[in-house]
Structure 1
Amino acid sequence: CGLFADTLALPSVTIDDHFFHRGGHSLLATRLISRIRTVWDTRVTIRDLFQSPTPALLAEHIAAGGGGNPLDTVLPIRAATGRDADTAPLFCVHAVSGVSWGYAGLLPHLGADRPLIALQARRLGGTEGAPGSIEEMADDYLAEIRKVQPHGPYHLLGWSFGGLVAHAVAARLEAAGEEVALLALLDSYPLPGGFRAPEIDGRHVLTALLGSRGESVPVRCADSVPDIAELAEKLRQSDPVLAGLEHAQAAAVVAAALDNLRMRYRYVPGVRFGGDALFFDATGTPAAQPGAAAWAPYVTGRIEEFAVDCEHARMTEAEPLRAVGEVLARRLRPARI
């Protein structure tokens, strides 16, 4: 309880207090995990905290042997269990990094009975089975989603790169006769007409992963072919959330980001989604056109836009997710499956 309270900057917590309901988010979660590893010499990971988010549950989990893989493709941030097992989850698709831990910041805003299932890049686990296109990725995630929830109504969300994938999954579900009750796009834009893909060098990868912070990180491969090993070390040094990754895990994140950038730069949606969509605009990073206009060729329903006061790269930090979560809580109906 003491480690929970110290990390959350609270006077005290009880053995049954939920870390993410008391103000925890992915950055604080990684700090807590680091302190637990130091104090208890255990292999506990952020996945274990998602699975066991109270002091009592986490202590029991550690005693039984923690160490769940935090980079698995399907990551239950809040699993559907007990009385919540028939509540339709919110499925959240990763951004270019392939990692989806940040969506934990939505938990306190969605209601205690809403399962939240994150999808992470299969490339994080190696090249076997990794998709070669966004179309293949959407097919893969569709299959994983239907293992968790065989039939609708479905709720989908994606930030940046993940919005492209979420839209593709939504269109596939609709084509299969399923209901998509919610499609949320977090500062995600399809490529504009006439787009020409840039050369991807080391600096490009760092700024994709770190936002504007990546522009000033010194790196030898800044203007040349990305050096995955070098970039992995820079990522561990510069990103407080991913700092706890082992070198091989950080290298997998860089490799996934590189693959995702290449797929993103050649992707134009080949399908249209007939339902409505919610678009969340990071106002601190101006776009060439409004989200509704950018998505109009690919979404035939109504596109509602919501302004979020942040830069694009900070979209999954605590305050931006509070704004997003408040809108989602109003729109996520109490759907049963």
Structure 2
Amino acid sequence: MQQHYVERDATEAVVAAQWSRVLGHPPASLDTDFFAAGGTSLLAAKLVSALRGALGTQLPLKAVFEAPTFRGLSTRIREGGSSPHTRVLTLNAFGRGTPLLLVPAASGGVVGLHRLGGAPIDRPVLGLQARGLDPADGAPCATLDDIVDDFATVLEKAEAPRSLHLAGYCVGGILAYELACELDRRGWDVRSVVLLNTSLYCPPLEAADGAREKLRSIVDEAGLTVPEGEEPDTVSVFRLLTSDDADTLESDFAQFEARLKVFGSVGAAISGYVPRQVVFPVRLFSTDDRDDPADVERTPHEVTDWPDLGLPDFWQHHVPVDHFEMIAHEPTLRAVEEVLTELDDR
């Protein structure tokens, strides 16, 4: 299992990314103290400067001294109105390489991906967030084409850099691959697509069934008790989460329900996916457990794996840890940066 704290929202993802970049390691828990973890006054100034660049805000230096824990600093940013309420999120504003765009997986956001915004990734890092994750955006996109068109339009409106590497973890790799195709069609310079343990076993799934699967996983991960013989429902699980003593940011039912709907919509959108041929470089970082046996069993169509597609510029890197550990695995992060740097130098 992962040996680091997993952030809970976009604000914590940004803080964790810059914390990792400044100190060389992510926060170990919500209550990790910046100074106890190796921070100094000079490093506090560097952290604030990095957060200002990522958040586009004038965060005061005293914020780190007044709220030195990961929880405290993240809360200070939220309460100060600097939380990144945007579809295109900046995890890191600085670096030498071509910018990297992180495309969300089934969760619809950047939660869990903060290490790709921190050291050793030496380039600006952007993160996309799916439509519907914020209830004010409206319903999530229903098809893969809709998701891709929406992402491309959001990037154009945000005036994102027109030359990009794209990366996606798990099913996010499929979204990154298809988004790269669309951006290439629109004239963007797609430098590469990095697939982080992306499987091509995509069994049939209805959006409502995907949302129920996510709800059951939330129940299991939170250790909640559901009456025997009953299926968890959204309202009861939300009540259990908000009444439990566990650390949670769940406070708005509409946002909680929206998160489930996004998960279900992404799962339904990639059902039966078969990739097309592309001309840009594709790099696959793969663990031994990349293909979920349950997904393999439920996928009715014949699957041709990435290495067998005959892509003109393809390379696969074996990752010696499991699916959940890889996005915090320091050697893998270094290998990703080395691949991106090599492609930049072409």
Say whether residues 1:102 and 2:102 are aligned partners: no
For 1:48 and 1:31, locate their aligned partners in 2 and report how far apart those are by CA, in whole Å: 22
Say whether residues 1:311 and 2:325 are aligned partners: no
- Kept in 1, the 8 Å contact 2:197–2:287? The answer is yes
For 2:171 and 2:148, locate their aligned partners in 1 and report how far apart those are by CA, in whole Å: 12
Displacement after TM superposition at 1:89 (Å)? 1.5
More moved, 162-171 vs 97-106: 97-106
Corresponding residue for 1:10?
none
Say whether residues 1:139 and 2:149 are aligned partners: yes
- Using the size of structure 1 for normalisation, the TM-score is 0.67
Work out the percentage of aligned pairs sharing the same amino acid: 19
SS of match in other structure, 2:175: helix
Q: CA offsets per residue over residues 71-116 of structure 1, 9 Å max, x none?
A: 6322111135xxx6x95311001121122132221211112xx111
Q: CA offsets per residue over residues 136-180 of structure 1, 9 Å max, x none?
A: 11112122334343522x200001121111000111122234332
- Using the size of structure 2 for normalisation, the TM-score is 0.65
Give the aligned residue type for 2:339.
R
Corresponding residue for 2:130?
121
For 1:302 and 1:222, locate their aligned partners in 2 and report how far apart those are by CA, in whole Å: 51
- Between Structure 1 and Structure 2, how many residues are aligned? 286
- Kept in 2, the 8 Å contact 1:202–1:227? The answer is no
Q: CA offsets per residue over residues 178-204 of structure 1, 9 Å max, x none?
A: 332121111112236xx4447827762
Distance 1:279 1:99, change over 3 A: same
Unaligned runs of 5+ in 2: 1-17, 34-50, 66-72, 297-302
Give the aligned residue type for 1:200.
D
Distance 1:323 1:206, change over 3 A: farther
- Kept in 2, the 8 Å contact 1:162–1:188? The answer is yes
Unaligned runs of 5+ in 1: 1-17, 34-46
For 2:84 and 2:161, locate their aligned partners in 1 and report how far apart those are by CA, in whole Å: 24
SS of match in other structure, 2:277: coil
Corresponding residue for 1:276?
281
SS of match in other structure, 1:95: coil
For 1:169 and 1:184, locate their aligned partners in 2 and report how far apart those are by CA, in whole Å: 12
- Kept in 2, the 8 Å contact 1:201–1:223? The answer is no
Displacement after TM superposition at 1:306 (Å)? 2.1
Give the aligned residue type for 1:326.
R
Give the aligned residue type for 2:19.
F
For 2:89 and 2:52, locate their aligned partners in 1 and report how far apart those are by CA, in whole Å: 11
- Kept in 2, the 8 Å contact 1:156–1:182? The answer is yes
For 2:178 and 2:132, locate their aligned partners in 1 and report how far apart those are by CA, in whole Å: 19
- Kept in 2, the 8 Å contact 1:48–1:67? The answer is no
For 2:238 and 2:52, locate their aligned partners in 1 and report how far apart those are by CA, in whole Å: 24
For 1:164 and 1:189, locate their aligned partners in 2 and report how far apart those are by CA, in whole Å: 9
Displacement after TM superposition at 1:227 (Å)? 2.4
Distance 1:258 1:63, change over 3 A: closer
Corresponding residue for 1:162?
172
Write out aligned runs for 1:229-308 (5 A): 229-232=235-238, 243-248=248-253, 249-265=255-271, 267-269=272-274, 271-284=276-289, 286-287=291-292, 294-296=305-307, 300-308=311-319
Say whether residues 1:175 and 2:193 are aligned partners: no
For 1:94 and 1:221, locate their aligned partners in 2 and report how far apart those are by CA, in whole Å: 34
Corresponding residue for 2:92?
78
- Kept in 1, the 8 Å contact 2:195–2:285? The answer is yes
- Kept in 2, the 8 Å contact 1:233–1:250? The answer is no
- Kept in 2, the 8 Å contact 1:25–1:102? The answer is no
